[in-house]
Amino acid sequence: MQLRKSILGLALLLTPPVQAEPAQLALSTWRAPVQLQPQQRFDHYRRILLSCGANPAPGELWVLALPSQLNPRTCFVVLTPDGQVREFEGTSKAEGLAAGTYVLGQDFKVVGQPQGDTGLAVEDEEFRALTGPGAFRFALVNVWQPPPEAPAVAPSVPYIPAASLGLTERFNYYQRLLLARGGKITRGTTVLGLRGLSPDGRRHPSSDNVGAYDDTYVILRRNAKGQPQVQEFLGSTHAGDSSDPSVPQGVAQLRPGHYKAQPYGHHHSMPCWLVVNHQGSKHVRAARDVDADGSVTPEEVQLAEGRGTTASDILFHNGIWDDRCASIGCLTMAPDTHSAFVHALGARTPFNFTLVDANEPVDLSCSTYTLGRSPQGRPLNMHVIGSGPKIALLFGNIHGDEPAGQDLLVRLKRHLQEDPERLNGWQVRIMPCLNPDNSGRARTNPRGVDLNRNFPALWQLSARDDEYSGPSPLSEPESRCLRDATLGLGLGPAGRVQRILSIHQHRGIPAGQGMLDGDGPQEGVAPLVATMQKAAADRLTAQKIADSHGRVRIPGSFGSWVSSSGISIPTVTYELAHGDSPESSWQWNKAVLMSFLSNP
């Protein structure tokens, strides 16, 4: 009876439903996408095991069989105790095992069950080496069920910006890449190392240490006039060339991360730099090529991470040969290229160094940066979407009792992410909430300061009421972060914005209506206000290019500051009603916000 049930179960497994389309039921729908990283592949197959009723424990070896519905072809996936994934081609047949979980021996007999033909076959010595000689846990999948959801894969973008981009665009692109990898923007010089990618965009294994100079170094700095400079060099961020007999076993490869480089004497008569961590120690994170095969494998990286392996005396220096790197645990360039690098950088110039693995996907569609903290420790976040040369800043909730802008800007962020074409060539910076401590509660921040009276232009000390100026200009962390976002200072993408939208609420405005106001140079802000009003002419009124109180300038206001000499940025203040629901406000304001990103 049990045998008949097994045969019936497998018959159901291998017999397609009448209305099934083979293309929809292809084995590939269960296979992990090739672009997934190793940990993502392991997690993908572990979810399949869980869907089969298996409960894989850490340190267990499992074999997962994914049969084809249309022929005996079967994919056998080995999940090793150390978290690795190996895939093998094999076969299964209808009179074999039904879908389920088992314990098998290396001859594929079901352990503890009457010995019979399981119908499984894998002719591969590596498979036998991984699974034998003892018993292993095994799961056979019912592939007629929908496959489990695969982990999201961040879209991979080229690390080398398009040649058509101008200098400023290339500079901003590399800086956004650096920030997306956890680096920081500083006033000094930064060198970005791209392991696994040459300057012409050709990729190669980032673990391979043997070969020519095939990685990229990018110098990012500004000159005395503040103009961006970008220079790219072909080099090697690898550990070394194991074909050199002087290479000892256990050569170390610097791990991706953020470091400093200090001038450190000469190597073959050329200046070089020592790589140190941010505490100044020359003992830096590294993985060792313990088997001296010329590559630092994922297993060796994992071993190094678990042990906290470090290496010392890693240098930037010139290579010995023109055609292949000859560094041992160092970062190097061909002699002529290194000479150009020294000339561009300055022989005694220290720099920040960020090393990234260019084979890891990166998503630059939206990045979030914490520019600072509120008085009560809440993050003051800025979301950056797009990488165009034009920069627009939108912020809301500078007054805590005017929260409508926060919801509107969060919806706008999603809208722009859904279709990058909607950016219209802009880099958009969004700060949904400038006053997170008192959002929905009070006009001022928790220290009683009206953030819109805390800016330097025309600032004057005021009474301690709901428009209190604060003890001094920019005394509050929220106003300092808004200043930094406007001018591109500190953390976050560098670059001054060209256009600003500030969203407020006004109790005197009827539901479903709004009012536009302008600050900054009239030749820039007046056409912008007109364009936005045209997007909802039946709902919007445009006030004289002044403030909402009819005064030309308000002491300490953001609008007065952006209108001041040296700043002079077209800024629109958008006053919303208090009575609109978030959904209805978004529906009629969507076109108004998008018109702000047009080109009047």
Q: What is the CATH class of 366-596? A: alpha beta
On the question of a cis peptide bond just before residue 133, with omega within 30 degrees of 0, the verdict is yes
pLDDT value for 70: 61
Distance CA 588, CA 513 (A): 9
DSSP-derived secondary structure letter, 23: G
List of residues 6+ apart from 438 with CB closer than 8 A: 400, 401, 444, 445, 446
In contact, 355 and 195? CB cutoff 8 Å: yes
Q: What is the mean pLDDT of each run of 10 residues along the chain (600 residues)?
A: 37 35 41 73 81 68 79 84 83 76 75 67 85 79 52 51 80 78 75 89 76 89 85 85 53 86 90 90 85 73 75 89 80 92 92 88 71 87 82 94 90 85 87 91 94 92 88 95 85 76 91 90 89 91 55 79 89 90 88 87
CA-only gyration radius of the chain, Å: 31
Closest CA to 501 of 483, 478, 479, 528: 528
In contact, 75 and 88? CB cutoff 8 Å: yes
| Interval 347-382: pLDDT, tens | 899 999 999 888 776 666 677 777 888 998 888 888
Distance CA 245, CA 561 (A): 65
**Could you tell me which residues are beta bridge partners of residue 169?**
none
Distance CA 559, CA 574 (A): 12
pLDDT value for 3: 38
Q: Give the residue extent of every domain in the chain.
A: 2-140, 167-357, 366-596
pLDDT value for 494: 65
In contact, 318 and 333? CB cutoff 8 Å: yes
- Backbone dihedral angles phi then psi of residue 224, each to the nearest 5 degrees: -60, -25
In contact, 479 and 505? CB cutoff 8 Å: no
pLDDT value for 11: 36
pLDDT value for 434: 94
User: Helices 582-596 and 404-418 meet at what angle, rounded to 10?
Assistant: 60
CA 520 to chain centre: 34
User: Which stretches does DSSP call E strand in 84-156?
Assistant: 85-91, 100-104, 136-140
User: Tokens standing for 246?
Assistant: 């002087």
Closest CA to 568 of 578, 579, 560, 557: 560
**Could you tell me which residues are beta bridge partners of residue 328?**
240
